[in-house]
Chain A
Amino acid sequence: QITLKESGPTLVKPTQTLTLTCTFSGFSLSTSGVAVGWIRQPPGKALEWLALIYWDDDKRYSPSRKSRLTITKDTSKNQVVLTMTNMDPVDTATYYCAHRLSGSLPPSFDYWGQGTLVTVSS
Chain B
Amino acid sequence: QSVLTQPPSVSGAPGQRVTISCTGSSSNIGAGYDVHWYQQLPGTAPKLLIYANSNRPSGVPDRFSGSKSGTSASLAITGLQAEDEADYYCQSYGSSLSADVVFGGGTKLTVL
Contact = CB atoms under 8 A, between A and B. Distances in A.
Interface of A: 37, 39, 46-49, 52, 60, 62-64, 96, 101, 104-110, 112-115
A46 B106 contact: yes
Interface string B32-65: 0110101010000111100110000100000000
Interface of B: 2, 33-34, 36, 38, 40, 45-48, 51-52, 57, 89, 91-93, 97-106
B105 A46 contact: yes
Given A46-B104, A108-B48, A113-B45, 6 more contacts: A46-B103, A49-B100, A52-B101, A63-B99, A105-B34, A110-B48
A110 B56 CA distance: 11
Given A62-B99, A109-B48, A47 B106 contact: yes
A110 B45 CA distance: 11
4 tightest A-B CB contacts, nearest first:
A49-B101, A106-B93, A108-B36, A112-B45
Given A106-B34, A106-B101, A110-B57, A47 B89 contact: yes
Contact of A37 (B45, B97, B101): B101
Contacts of A63: 97-99
B100 to A, nearest CB: 5
A101 B97 contact: no
Nearest to B58: A110
Contacts of A109: 38, 46, 48
Nearest to A106: B93
13 contacts: A39-B46, A46-B89, A46-B106, A47-B89, A48-B103, A49-B99, A49-B103, A101-B48, A106-B33, A106-B36, A106-B93, A108-B52, A109-B38
A47 B100 contact: no
A107 B48 contact: no
